Amino acid sequence: MILYIQDLLDAGTLSAVQERLASQAFDDGAASAGWAAKPVKRNEQARDDKTRAAIVRLVEERLRAHPLFASAALPKRFPRILINRYGPGMHYGSHMDDAVIHGQRTDLSFTLGLTPAEDYEGGELVLEDSTGDRAWKVDAGDLLLYPTTYLHRVEAVRTGQRMAVVGWVRSLVRRSEQREILLDLDTALRTEFDAHGKTEQFDRLSRSRNNLLRLWLED
């Protein structure tokens, strides 16, 4: 399941983050890459300081509070959240993210755009699988959520600058197909409640989703 969530960050929060990052120091992004990905990683990442830590905390709060993200990802922990930057010529070649980061399994990855898509050329995030490549240019404030099982790459930025928050999710539910079923049920029961209130049909849907959570949850 791949989700593109628009406006995960509201305009005010996005502006505040962009303003903080205007004077942020950045280092070579290869420092955080695994041994196999290091040779193909050509970007920069925000230095680990108080400003970066405050932005990461804010982003995590917004992620946990967003109904669609919370329902789709069922986050238990965020093993790592980074802020990266790509200038002209920078890219990240095809790679697989580590299955374990800081002792936590990585189930989902996300990219949260911080730069308006029209402000740079290139820089698409490309997911690779047997059906072919799929490319996204994630706009400022929007988020792409996808299983960490994909080979992926970031195309070279040709002009401008691309900045984003990237991170990984340790989900309460390991399997992608199970998370998708739970999201479908959550969407259906919310639709039923909004249209008709707490009906018998709502109760059936709620019972099914909660009992599946009991079967599949890893606490």
For residue 162, say whether it is annotated as part of any ligand binding site: yes
What is the token pair recorded at 16?
Answer: 């505040």
For residue 97, say whether it is annotated as part of any ligand binding site: yes
Cβ–Cβ < 8 Å for 125, 152: yes
Cβ–Cβ < 8 Å for 72, 147: no
For residue 196, say whether it is annotated as part of any ligand binding site: no
Cβ–Cβ < 8 Å for 159, 88: yes
Q: How far is CA 134 from CA 77, 96, 125, 148, 175, in A?
A: 27, 16, 8, 15, 22
Cβ–Cβ < 8 Å for 73, 51: no
Q: Which residues are known binding-site members for 2-oxoglutarate?
A: 162
Q: Which residues are known binding-site members?
A: 95, 97, 152, 162
Q: Which residues are known binding-site members for Fe cation?
A: 95, 97, 152
